[in-house]
Structure 1
């Protein structure tokens, strides 16, 4: 028998599950067994089982790709390692909350649908990235999306997460069963509203009565999730192996010690007592969501685009540059905080805590990773804030430089004429625009005309256009480091 974390003697410093895993039932199904979920929701559930008696277990499902990952997870009895790396301390923990896993390529589409439709399943959650919701620029279902077009034509053989969810809900309705709660855990503003909209749009196309039933009976709580979870590298896998005394865990993950989870307490079929292990259950998550998206994610994107262009491989390296650190803090406090409505939070202290987390030298969070999918992230992280300031006649130089940094980044060539691997669903379209315009300020208006990213009221606002053009020109003339330094000097 191959030695794994399920059957090996682990070092004393590794924290193991203290609960009877045989008592867990797959009452919570999660779509997308990715890095963030392993380090966040999966660990919250394992912590809860360590603390009190519960039968809530997780069934993990990868729908597209990830077959090998499911095989590896099964080979170690659904256990996996989470290594929390602080600036001064490292803790390895084994999560045991997963008790089942499925994949349509391994088990068949019907097996996945039957699991989702089974009476014991009370929650179906997901971390499928912005792309996985198949929404258009208006927030409605994109029926031209290839996965959605396939699923609408053959709804009994779905491929998309939306297709699977709606088909499973139909099966439950037809069987006279209660629905499950649909819970997005993706880093999207109003994530519950986003998934509710595309689910209802999809259902209306295939079955109007089903859509009405879903609208009346299914809950879609919004959530806010926060934990820095860098992509795994050969080095980080080796760090885990060293902590496990030479044992390999292909499902392991490395993350920071900090974590936050704010959840709207709207569950149609019950939920685990997450509040007992630090989650915040609230009536309205939007204020917390906006705080995190604009302050944390907005400054992260600033540091990612301008950091990458400035030659920094990681966020920690970017923020170690005093100009970048000051600019990120000014972005948060001067240009993001005024747009927020969250109450009872010390936002100055929150900004300081974010910078401290970014500075963690033991987390190699690549600027390239944070820079991914910018076309989907800019609107919620920066553009709404820019609109706020424009409406009030206020300047927004930090936001302007961040947006210009994104524009310079998606050209696909860095400041040393080396290629940038731009990972974005619109990468080809954006690169074509940049190639046609060249590296000059004329590209700004061309990119602003992409209405899937920029609303018309921004693209035609002379003040906004001028601010971005000025910032872009500074990037061309001074380089990223120089432009950030000039920004800080002018603050």
Structure 2
């Protein structure tokens, strides 16, 4: 993060020594951090982890008996260097600013992280930490793209240069899979029980996917280790949910000027949080249910509900809102037309595909989503929402299209989702909104997306020919007929995004 431009004289620097000096209305850890040990090692310490899992651990630690479940963070990327430095300076403490829809703000200090290892400086220390018998759970937030699978086939990408490097140099790995393999190999050879690998990423069946990807890597490396991991290591599925925007200088200034805390990398989040976890751990687990999480035997229906409604809803607002000229989620959904479009998409095209969930009323859930998206105190940028769309949309929206096509091939309910996909094509092709303002696009596949989308003028189905993302949609007439109409409308510069959305809603009666 950038430095504070102005530091008030009364503001207190966040660190362990200053905890007792912080303002009394700031919630601070009520446990002795010096007595914690890191039973959890977390790879990918981003804003979401610090607003979600680390918060649950902090809550659990408030009650005696969970001292073994502190967190050691791991940064594998050079981009994590700044975070590593800041966390060390702050004794791994950070502020969590919880913003409610009604304007209420809760400020708390999270103390559950007790160490952070920066892999580019010392890879062996990371392997040793993962291999330490003290480590019981290794959790991940490495983003959808970090799992290294082909979105269309689900197969592990063995052509990735970093994966090729790790298979040949397992003692000096680069990727998550390389580090996990090196550590599990050491544990197997030294007779140490394995750790549970727990994905906290927004991927349906995230535990199953993590296991498949890791085993695909290990299969190329060591047959004996493959068998041991396959039989001994647990990979619980989990559904995670909490909207966590990117930290801004404004967040830092708020803490310094209004609260009186100098924190170089605070986290802002909404008040809503949910964590549903498959109760499948091979080496003990924290009692997260005491902190508000939910352990279940099957996470699948919860995952599907969240990914197809919340995450897909974000993408609907993100892509259409970006082309219209909006900047944030709340700005988009407080527009009545956008709210109506989103609700119709959820009601007509997604809900009929969802399972019944005990204890969850889908109507209430969708109402809550609209309220959460509308939170004026969470300025979640559309650029962040659209980040790495190529890793998100196949699961969030394209699978919904495929399921609706299979359910009713002659007249599938796909029009609203298809307009979003056509908008993604325009977004990737023109890279500007409908007023010509440049868009901030960040996607590992950005060049490929642009290359295919830019051929749309000559071939309306060009974008769909990225089969890794769209599968066989380009060959399904019942889809391409709808898609080509959507492309015609989106690319018609005389038509606004709102007029296209309104026409689509009118056509549905």
TM category (shorter chain) comes to over 0.9
Aligned twin of 1:114: 128
Distance in 2, Cα, partners of 1:436 & 1:465: 16
* Alignment partner of 2:60 out of 48, 55, 79: 48
Pair 1:399-2:417 in alignment: yes
Distance 1:443 1:226, change over 3 A: farther
Pair 1:450-2:463 in alignment: no
* Alignment partner of 1:367 out of 382, 399, 409: 382
Q: How many residues align?
A: 484
Aligned twin of 1:62: 75
Within 5 A, what are the aligned runs for 1:406-421? Answer: 406-411=424-429, 412-421=431-440
Aligned twin of 1:3: 13
How far did 1:339 drift?
Answer: 0.9
Contact 2:237/2:278 (<8 A) preserved: yes
Structure with the larger RCO, 1 or 2 (CA within 8 Å, 6+ apart)? 2
Contact 1:310/1:481 (<8 A) preserved: yes
* Alignment partner of 1:136 out of 138, 143, 150: 150
5+ residue gaps, structure 2, are 1-11
How far did 1:443 drift?
Answer: 5.0
How far did 1:23 drift?
Answer: 1.7
Q: Deviations over 1:111-164 (max 9, x none)?
A: 110000000100001101122112234223211112101101111111100100
Contact 1:288/1:342 (<8 A) preserved: no
Contact 1:29/1:121 (<8 A) preserved: yes
Distance 1:277 1:231, change over 3 A: same
Pair 1:29-2:49 in alignment: no
How far did 1:5 drift?
Answer: 3.9
Give the TM-score, by structure 2 length: 0.93
How far did 1:259 drift?
Answer: 0.3
How far did 1:476 drift?
Answer: 2.6
Distance in 1, Cα, partners of 2:507 & 2:105: 40
Distance in 2, Cα, partners of 1:330 & 1:432: 32
Deviating 4+ runs (over 4 angstroms): none
Contact 2:40/2:138 (<8 A) preserved: yes
Pair 1:123-2:137 in alignment: yes
Distance in 1, Cα, partners of 2:420 & 2:229: 40
Aligned twin of 2:281: 267
Distance in 2, Cα, partners of 1:342 & 1:173: 41
1:419 match: secondary structure: coil
Contact 2:251/2:266 (<8 A) preserved: no
Give the TM-score, by structure 1 length: 0.96
5+ residue gaps, structure 1, are none
2:263 match: secondary structure: coil
Aligned twin of 2:9: none
Distance in 2, Cα, partners of 1:96 & 1:218: 28
How far did 1:323 drift?
Answer: 0.7
Distance in 2, Cα, partners of 1:120 & 1:214: 18
